[in-house]
Chain A
């Protein structure tokens, strides 16, 4: 199995939840692809912790600039798919 075929927004949300906790009154299973991390209550360390978990799970590496650019779960998904060598948007 290759990561790019299977990584989805749900995987991003699962990693976020595990790495940085679930929200207070925010439905992470709702349509949050374009909601900013800060609106979701996740700070920069939470995003970095999530990125670390994704990198370890899927065995790819996301660059520093990429991580700084990602402001939403959707953007993080595209960067993850890219890092995995897949096609952005495929699984979202």
Chain B
């Protein structure tokens, strides 16, 4: 018998709003959370804008020791996990610990804390032989990002399979796929999974500057992230986390849980082409989409919404348009395809899970979030990109796509309608 996997809890830390409710308020209203970087002096950088979270760890419920110990990315994950657990209504303390797992995605882990500590132990970059006597006790936790999954595991008492998934910018989709796989194969009944990243730091800005990947539209940060627009000139960095409670379907039904959606399909492929470049035909992403739809047994014509990677770089949006056309065929033009990166930027590994969260909320509210800032569509990106304003429509089957450095191409298919039994076919 095939075990099915549903999402019964949702938690979000996002630019423009902490918590799923505030997050949806941003997306549903097409508000942009991109702005001039405030967390450090970015005046020397080519791109000086980002979508920052107004996050106060103590207000979010973290203790002083947790705040000292955890990198910002781990703090995001912990707070989002707490919300997801509360939303699920599951009493984790009553679950058999070895049947609970964790799957947290992150692209760059604790990079912000690593850089802060580097500055100290190297004395501002002066010492190549860094001075260990100035290292904080948690330095190793910042080095190895499995510490982020460990923090979540401790919070929920998980003693089953626990992993950090780190596939760059598809981490957030791949962590969802991994969580579902653990439940489907029987390694766990409940998995707390999602993704987090807090990459707005000098070294991250500098390396994206060096490859001119980020938007230099510094004079108009609120309108800088322009997926599918003719004037797009790069992505805008973001940060945040989304964490879910994944549950085996029967487990959820037995306790009468509210079901957000079923994780019906997941697939990933590699482009085997270039660490940062994309082939214009989008063949590998198309393959991932086709495989995920097949697993979900969802015909392309039945998709109500595609949440696109839509990063706003010249090459991504062309690549993705080709991939969607190749995989959805005639339905590519009639299915709404929007990019929420227009509003909350690109939070690297976290964004895939933030996009899955957006899909769940779209299903619940029957509303497709828009692509903000899309005033002058690129004629080559000729799909229905839901410009500027959200669109009311029933959303029962959705596809979320992701593409990232290293050649990773991933697709998640969700089904259901957010009602009591998830509106799932039995």
Do A and B assemble together?
Answer: yes
Please report A residues at the B interface, Cβ cutoff 8 Å. 43-45, 48-49, 52, 64, 67
Which A residues lie within 8 Å of B276 (CB)?
Answer: 44-45
Partner of A48, one of B212, B216, B233, B275: B212
- A contact patch SS: helix
B211 sits at the interface (CB 8 A): yes
Whether B277 contacts A48 by the Cβ 8 Å rule is: no
Please report B residues at the A interface, Cβ cutoff 8 Å. 210-212, 216, 233, 274-277
Which A residues lie within 8 Å of B277 (CB)?
Answer: 43-45
**Which of chain B's residues has its CB closest to A48's CB?**
B211
A-B pairs with lowest CB-CB distance, top 5: A48-B211, A64-B212, A52-B210, A45-B276, A45-B211
Whether B210 contacts A48 by the Cβ 8 Å rule is: yes
Determine the distance from Cα of A44 to Cα of B233 in the docked complex, in whole angstroms. Answer: 16
**Which of chain A's residues has its CB closest to B46's CB?**
A64
**Which of chain A's residues has its CB closest to B315's CB?**
A44
- B contact patch SS: loop
Determine the distance from Cα of A86 to Cα of B210 in the docked complex, in whole angstroms. Answer: 25
Can you list 12 A-B pairs, Cβ within 8 angstroms, ordered by A? Answer: A43-B274, A44-B276, A44-B277, A45-B211, A45-B275, A45-B276, A48-B210, A48-B211, A49-B210, A52-B210, A64-B212, A67-B212
Whether B216 contacts A64 by the Cβ 8 Å rule is: yes
Which A residues lie within 8 Å of B233 (CB)?
Answer: 64
Which B residues lie within 8 Å of A45 (CB)?
Answer: 211, 275-277
**Which of chain B's residues has its CB closest to A49's CB?**
B210
Determine the distance from Cα of A43 to Cα of B278 in the docked complex, in whole angstroms. Answer: 12
Determine the distance from Cα of A52 to Cα of B274 in the docked complex, in whole angstroms. Answer: 20
In the assembled complex, the CB of A10 is this many whole angstroms from the nearest CB of chain B, namely 24
Which A residues lie within 8 Å of B210 (CB)?
Answer: 48-49, 52
Which B residues lie within 8 Å of A49 (CB)?
Answer: 210
Determine the distance from Cα of A30 to Cα of B402 in the docked complex, in whole angstroms. Answer: 42
Determine the distance from Cα of A64 to Cα of B234 in the docked complex, in whole angstroms. Answer: 11
**Which of chain A's residues has its CB closest to B276's CB?**
A45
Determine the distance from Cα of A52 to Cα of B275 in the docked complex, in whole angstroms. Answer: 19
Determine the distance from Cα of A76 to Cα of B274 in the docked complex, in whole angstroms. Answer: 22
Which B residues lie within 8 Å of A43 (CB)?
Answer: 274, 277
Determine the distance from Cα of A64 to Cα of B274 in the docked complex, in whole angstroms. Answer: 21
**Which of chain A's residues has its CB closest to B275's CB?**
A45
Determine the distance from Cα of A49 to Cα of B275 in the docked complex, in whole angstroms. Answer: 14
Determine the distance from Cα of A52 to Cα of B210 in the docked complex, in whole angstroms. Answer: 7
Which B residues lie within 8 Å of A67 (CB)?
Answer: 212
**Which of chain B's residues has its CB closest to A64's CB?**
B212
In the assembled complex, the CB of B233 is this many whole angstroms from the nearest CB of chain A, namely 8
Determine the distance from Cα of A47 to Cα of B215 in the docked complex, in whole angstroms. Answer: 19
Residue among A43, A49, A67 with the most chain B CB within 10 A? A43
Determine the distance from Cα of A77 to Cα of B216 in the docked complex, in whole angstroms. Answer: 25
Determine the distance from Cα of A57 to Cα of B135 in the docked complex, in whole angstroms. Answer: 34
Which A residues lie within 8 Å of B211 (CB)?
Answer: 45, 48
Determine the distance from Cα of A19 to Cα of B188 in the docked complex, in whole angstroms. Answer: 48
In the assembled complex, the CB of B205 is this many whole angstroms from the nearest CB of chain A, namely 14
Which B residues lie within 8 Å of A52 (CB)?
Answer: 210
In the assembled complex, the CB of A46 is this many whole angstroms from the nearest CB of chain B, namely 11
In the assembled complex, the CB of B216 is this many whole angstroms from the nearest CB of chain A, namely 7
Determine the distance from Cα of A44 to Cα of B276 in the docked complex, in whole angstroms. Answer: 9
Which A residues lie within 8 Å of B212 (CB)?
Answer: 48, 64, 67
Determine the distance from Cα of A48 to Cα of B275 in the docked complex, in whole angstroms. Answer: 14
Determine the distance from Cα of A67 to Cα of B276 in the docked complex, in whole angstroms. Answer: 17
Determine the distance from Cα of A45 to Cα of B274 in the docked complex, in whole angstroms. Answer: 10
